């Protein structure tokens, strides 16, 4: 191994360790603020909690951007080809940014081609991340007016959809001399102190790398003081038409085992799930999880990966050796969120993956894929 390889290995190990150590307490902060916001708060208390959450979310954005850029720069990101509902991706991003735009008095416009197909094949996670990066900047750097997300599609071949996405804003715009370098690393959108925003300037660099990873392109047109328009062109495959599947029987499973050595993580998950009428038990390590699982029948296991003694991978293997858990859904919940970690989870028979810090809505959406909460009396 060369000196360069040694240095790169050390850098990856350092980033992985830093990632885990930051995400674990950050998960507790975001989870607890979620739970607090569901309680009765006076106006001042809600303002304080909202401020804490904004700070935590910003820290998460910085962490995600740095790690994603590092992975993309090192070619450690692979594209996943899965079928996904195309409109749901765009609708979800609009829903995510609507409160932020509304709080600034901005009009958030959606303009979707009615001829868009119901489903496409591609990497939904990377596509959503690309959209989030651009809409986040658009809302952040627009003080008045509107932000528009427009989506159009055309079939260049019978099985290929040429997707065109436009993100337009009426914000501060970009100076002509900076347009060419705007996709470079560590570039800020504006140097004026009035509009200076926190961040490390990786959002658009990551966006360009994501577009290229998806075999697409991204360009920008902008005028200082009059806004910016970003254009994304991506190819997506279209699924073959098939007969309608048989109706899926209603899910009635609702017993969940939460395995995590972090007491705060246990509290966040168990409280969020019990509020939705799921039955929850917790285990503090792999050995306790196996003992608890042997004494009861659980329909879903939420499993932390990095635990002392018996880690999540070993725990999953031993659960699979128990006849009643040979097909039980196991979802990894971890601060280790690289592509290698995801692939290793799949190899160990885990069906789902949640990266810490886990937002309550993401946790519930994942659980609802496998369990239906009982209806309260």
Q: Which residue has the tokens 């329909």?
A: 299
8 A C-beta contact, residue 89 and residue 131: yes
What is the tens place of the pLDDT at every residue in 234-258? 999 998 765 455 554 454 557 999 9
Strands 300-303 and 255-259: parallel
Mapped onto helix, strand or coil, the DSSP state of residue 347 is: helix
**Domains of the chain as residue ranges with CATH:** 3-73 (1.10.287), 82-237 (3.30.565.10), 255-370 (3.40.50.2300)
**Tokens read off for 21:** 């150590």
Cβ neighbors of 174 (< 8 A, separation 6 or more) are 182, 189, 190, 220, 222, 224, 228
- Name the residue with higher pLDDT: 158 or 210: 210
Label residue 194 exposed, middle or buried (CB < 10 Å: 0-12, 13-18, 19+).
exposed
Whether a cis peptide bond, with omega within 30° of 0, leads into 303 is: no
**Tokens read off for 217:** 């392109």
Q: Span 148-173, mean pLDDT? A: 89
What is the tens place of the pLDDT at every residue in 168-213? 999 998 888 777 777 764 455 544 433 444 444 456 877 888 888 8
Q: Span 294-316, mean pLDDT? A: 91
8 A C-beta contact, residue 148 and residue 170: no
Give the model's pLDDT for residue 196.
45
Q: Span 8-21, mean pLDDT? A: 67
Q: How many CB atoms lie within 10 A of CB 297?
A: 12
Q: Span 106-111, mean pLDDT? A: 94
- Name the residue with higher pLDDT: 63 or 39: 39
**Tokens read off for 20:** 């885990």
Residue 377 CA to residue 375 CA, distance in Å, equals 6
8 A C-beta contact, residue 224 and residue 175: yes
* Length in residues, the chain: 377
Task: Tell me which residue of 148, 54, 57, 132 sits closest to 92, measured CA to CA.
Answer: 132
Task: Note if the pTM is more than 0.85.
Answer: no
Give the model's pLDDT for residue 302.
95
Give the model's pLDDT for residue 282.
94
What is the tens place of the pLDDT at every residue in 249-301? 454 557 999 999 888 888 888 988 988 889 999 999 999 999 999 998 999 99
How far is CA 317 from its chain centroid? 27
**Tokens read off for 212:** 């290229």
Residue 78 CA to residue 97 CA, distance in Å, equals 27
Task: Give helix then strand counts, H and E, for the chain.
Answer: 11, 12
Least reliable range by pLDDT among 49-58, 162-171, 335-344:
335-344
Check whether 86 has a pLDDT greater than 70: yes
Least reliable range by pLDDT among 59-63, 80-84, 114-118:
59-63
- CB-facing half-sphere around the CA of 332: CA atoms within 13 A: 29
Least reliable range by pLDDT among 79-88, 226-235, 278-287:
79-88
Check whether 351 has a pLDDT greater than 60: yes
What 8-state DSSP symbol labels residue 285? Answer: S
Check whether 42 has a pLDDT greater than 70: yes
Give CB contacts under 8 A, 24+ apart, made by 17-22: 19/63, 19/67, 19/335, 19/336, 19/337, 20/306, 20/335, 20/336, 21/335, 22/59, 22/63, 22/335
Q: Span 5-28, mean pLDDT? A: 70
What 8-state DSSP symbol labels residue 324? Answer: G
- For 300, the enclosing helix (H) or strand (E) is strand 300-303
8 A C-beta contact, residue 109 and residue 148: yes
Local confidence band at 355 (pLDDT 50, 70, 90 cut-offs)? confident
Check whether 373 has a pLDDT greater than 60: no
- Name the residue with higher pLDDT: 70 or 273: 273
- Name the residue with higher pLDDT: 84 or 242: 84
CA dihedral 100, 101, 102, 107 (to 10 degrees): -170
- For 156, the enclosing helix (H) or strand (E) is strand 146-157
8 A C-beta contact, residue 272 and residue 36: no
**Tokens read off for 223:** 């005028």
How far is CA 184 from its chain centroid? 24
Local confidence band at 12 (pLDDT 50, 70, 90 cut-offs)? low
């Amino acid at each position: 191994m060369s000196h360069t390889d040694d240095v790169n290995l050390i850098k990856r190990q350092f980033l992985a360790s830093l990632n885990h150590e930051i995400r674990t307490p950050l998960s507790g902060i975001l989870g607890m603020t979620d739970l607090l916001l569901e309680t009765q708060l006076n106006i001042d208390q809600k303002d304080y909690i909202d401020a804490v959450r904004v700070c935590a979310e910003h820290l998460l954005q910085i962490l995600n951007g740095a790690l994603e850029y590092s992975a993309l720069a090192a070619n450690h990101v692979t594209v996943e080809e899965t079928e996904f509902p195309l409109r749901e991706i765009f609708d979800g991003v609009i829903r995510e940014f609507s409160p932020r735009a509304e709080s600034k008095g901005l009009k958030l416009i959606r303009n979707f081609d009615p001829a868009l197909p119901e489903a496409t094949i591609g990497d939904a996670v990377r596509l959503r991340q690309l959209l989030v990066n651009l809409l986040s900047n658009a809302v952040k750097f627009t003080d008045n007016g509107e932000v528009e997300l427009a989506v159009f599609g055309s079939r260049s071949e019978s099985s290929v959809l040429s997707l065109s996405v436009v993100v337009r804003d009426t914000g501060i715009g970009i100076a002509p001399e900076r347009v060419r370098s705007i996709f470079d690393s560590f570039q800020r959108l504006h140097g004026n102190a009035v509009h200076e925003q926190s961040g490390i300037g990786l959002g658009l660099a990551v966006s360009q790398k994501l577009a290229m990873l998806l075999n697409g392109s991204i360009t920008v047109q902008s005028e200082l003081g009059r806004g910016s328009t970003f254009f994304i062109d991506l190819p997506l495959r279209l699924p073959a038409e098939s007969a309608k599947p048989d109706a899926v029987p209603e899910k009635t499973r609702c017993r969940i085992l939460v395995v995590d050595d972090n007491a705060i993580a246990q509290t966040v998950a168990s409280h969020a799930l019990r509020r939705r009428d799921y039955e929850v038990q917790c285990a503090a390590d792999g050995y306790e999880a196996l003992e608890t699982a042997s004494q009861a029948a659980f329909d879903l296991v939420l499993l932390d990966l990095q635990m002392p003694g018996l880690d999540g991978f070993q725990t999953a293997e031993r659960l699979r050796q128990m006849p009643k858990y040979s097909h039980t859904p196991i979802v990894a919940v971890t601060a280790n969120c690289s592509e290698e970690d995801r692939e290793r989870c799949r190899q160990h028979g885990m069906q789902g993956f949640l990266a810490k810090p886990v937002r309550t809505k993401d946790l519930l959406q994942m659980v609802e894929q496998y369990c239906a909460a009982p209806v309260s009396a």
